[in-house]
Chains A and B, each alone.
Chain A
Amino acid sequence: MAESKPTISFHDFTSCEGCQLQVLNCEDELLDILGAVDIVEFREAIDDKADSYDVAFIEGAFTRESDRKRLETIRSKAGIVVALGACACTGGLNVLKNFRGLEKSMKTVYGDSADWYETSQALPVEAAIKVDYKVHGCPIPRQEFLEVVTSLLAGRTPRIPDHPVCVECKLRENECLYHKSQYCMGPLARAGCDAWCPSYGGRCYACRGLISDPNNQAAFDVLEEFGLTIDDVLTEFRLFNGVYDVSQPPTEARVEKQ
């Protein structure tokens, strides 16, 4: 019965829309998903607007106060809210601008016209509304999106890993980047991407955020082994995980130094 199909919506805030594209990139599963649910909002592809959703997926960071209302409306219409991607889960790399000094950022880009436009700190969606589940990553791995959709449809809790990327990397038998004298955040990063980057010769930047109990000591030991300090890797750390030190904003002097 068409009426009893669960309704799903997608909403986007400040993002690159790559995570929504990852959803469309589930080419093999897309038609099945379309058969099992009613997608009632997907701004990129649909004209309709709906009154309620069983599951609302939110992509993008919360970057201006005037978006709070839209987020609250989505929350009030939705049974379950899922944050889709790093932008929504942690603010993602949008958070970098918080460290550049907002006024300065706007001036850099818009010059004297900066006052015409509204912006504020980039924050995770959670800063405005309650989020029930998070699909991490920049972009999200398709397999994790599918796991979340199928679990929620089946009424079970999705399995989101909480162990380091290194575990997956070892399973894939990649040569560890540390052996090639390259710094990698794999020991701190949340797995679930099948060690995507190291498998293609790239360093892990922990785009999926940090595991909840990172073995910081191990990470520091490795840094030490390479003669690096936390400051050396801070720029890289902040690419995706700026939110973790938003509570202690660095001094302007330190930002300038970077």
Chain B
Amino acid sequence: MAKSLDINVHHLTRVEGHGNIVVRASDGKVEKCVLEIVETPRVFESMIEGLRWRDTSLLTCRICGICSVAHTTASILATDEAFGLELSPESLTLRKLLMYAEVLQSHVLHVYFLAAPDAFGAPSVIPLASSHPEVVKRALKLKKLANYTCAVLCGRHVHPISLVPGGFTYVPPKKGLVELKQLYADARADIEATVETISGVLDKFPSFEREREDISLVRDDEYAIYNGELKSSKAGQIDHRDYLEFIKEKCVEHSTSKHVYNVEESFAVGALSRFNNNSAQLNEFGVAAAKALGLEAPCHNPYLNNVAQVVEAAHAYQEAVNCLDELIAADLTEEKLAPNVVPKAGRGVGATEAPRGLLIHDYTYDENGVCTEANCIIPTGMNLGNIDRDMQKYVPEVIEDRSQDQIEHDLEMLVRAYDPCISCSVHLLKVDWV
């Protein structure tokens, strides 16, 4: 039976930012199948230019409130590199801990609030609060833990205060660190319960596969989150400063966010890509979670990005505990953390892993530390082309067997699985139009 489809999901819910799914098919043939990005351009890149070094991260962390620590981190990594700043081991551990906390918070928020309702067949997390109160309470508890980590370390999670180039402007008190350690110890069971809850709904994720190119950071010594070099599952490894070799941008008319390509017409970034590229480096807790969830690399089912997020939440949890131990033993002082910044002319590239994937900030400063050129490449933007291609493969596969409503639901779930942050993605940066 040949089938026609006319799907137009306007302002997709439960993703951050504004996007529409548009599918048109007639006689079983798909004519159009795209994720339209209708978010207002915020043109951050042009706003960064002209700012002084101490203000660049203040502006760019506001690209996204949910990945605020990652944006701040990418930004200050770029500034550190441009000025050649040395970081103390204590500052490094603090920065990493903040990144782990953000990964934990963002993944928990996404898995429980934005993706789980699909798995539980609820329209949103709110009815879940009465039907599965223990699940929602657990989610809030873990989220709060991650949030509180940021509050103790740098004042707040949404737009961190003391996280600056070269170090920290505030010394987290030992009392706070010890309290955090206790809270993390209490939360271990919640992470385990999260793994269990999600392993109970694995059959809700469609079994769809499309071979893909995964791009993430990579490091010799750890599962790369804070920084590293670039790795493509199809094109090997390159220096983070040469990111444009992997990430080639183009404007497309249906999206205020640019699309990217490399070896393939599109590639993927995010939890599943990191897992595919680096799963051998997960810590024990992460490995145990992957095993319980049956996730194995390489996995080419984009729906399982949610599962990879749970694995990473477990990994990040364990890493955070290790960082806390180090910091408590280290006796933080102002001397150890105080930023000592002397601006100079130069370019720096900050590459970090935001919860949603690879994030790059590239700044050039003049000798006064005023930014003269900026480029930021944001994970959701990189995934958009891949989302389109997944949808374009998925729809013909199911067009005969599933109803329009079912397909619409599957596609929404697919887009949500990528955890897209559409408001971020439209700040995709500058290509050199030479």
Contacts and interface: CB of A to CB of B under 8 A. Distances in A.
Residues of A in contact with B, size category: 35 or more
B252 to A, nearest CB: 9
A69 interface: no
A230 interface: no
B235 interface: no
A32 B344 CA distance: 52
A72 to B, nearest CB: 17
A45 B65 CA distance: 15
A117 B16 CA distance: 20
Interface string B144-186: 1001000000111111011010001110000000000000000
Contacts of B169: 200-202
In terms of DSSP, what is the predominant structure of the interface of chain A?
Answer: helix
Interface string A29-64: 011001000010011111110000000000000011
A21 interface: yes
B68 interface: yes
Nearest to A70: B11
Contacts of A94: 42
B251 A113 contact: yes
A11 to B, nearest CB: 10
Contacts of A93: 47, 59, 62
Interface in B19-55: 39-43, 45-47, 49-52, 55
B340 to A, nearest CB: 14
In terms of DSSP, what is the predominant structure of the interface of chain B?
Answer: loop
B389 interface: no
Of B136, B169, B431, most A-chain CB atoms within 10 Å: B169
B211 to A, nearest CB: 30
A217 to B, nearest CB: 26
A43 B41 contact: no
A109 B65 contact: no
Contact of A27 (B41, B51, B58, B140): B140
A129 interface: no
B123 interface: yes
B352 interface: no
Contact of B65 (A21, A42, A117): A21
Contact of A18 (B50, B66, B136): B66
Contact of A14 (B42, B66, B124): B42
Nearest to A64: B40
Interface string A88-100: 0000111011001
Contact of B41 (A110, A112, A196): A110
B161 A25 contact: no
7 A-B pairs with least C-beta separation: A18-B65, A201-B169, A200-B155, A113-B251, A105-B46, A200-B161, A105-B43
Given A48-B124, A109-B45, A235-B52, 18 more contacts: A14-B42, A15-B65, A16-B63, A17-B421, A21-B65, A44-B13, A45-B125, A93-B47, A97-B43, A97-B47, A105-B43, A105-B46, A108-B43, A109-B427, A119-B41, A139-B159, A197-B155, A236-B55
20 contacts: A14-B40, A16-B65, A19-B158, A20-B65, A25-B147, A44-B14, A44-B114, A45-B13, A46-B124, A63-B42, A100-B43, A100-B50, A105-B47, A106-B43, A108-B430, A110-B258, A111-B430, A200-B155, A201-B169, A235-B50
Interface of B: 11, 13-17, 39-43, 45-47, 49-52, 55, 58-59, 62-66, 68, 109, 113-114, 123-126, 129, 136-137, 140-141, 143-144, 147, 154-159, 161-162, 164, 168-170, 251, 253, 256, 258, 421, 423-424, 427-431, 433
Interface of A: 12-22, 24-25, 27-28, 30-31, 34, 39, 42-48, 63-64, 67, 92-94, 96-97, 100, 104-106, 108-113, 116-119, 138-139, 196-197, 199-202, 205, 235-236, 239, 258
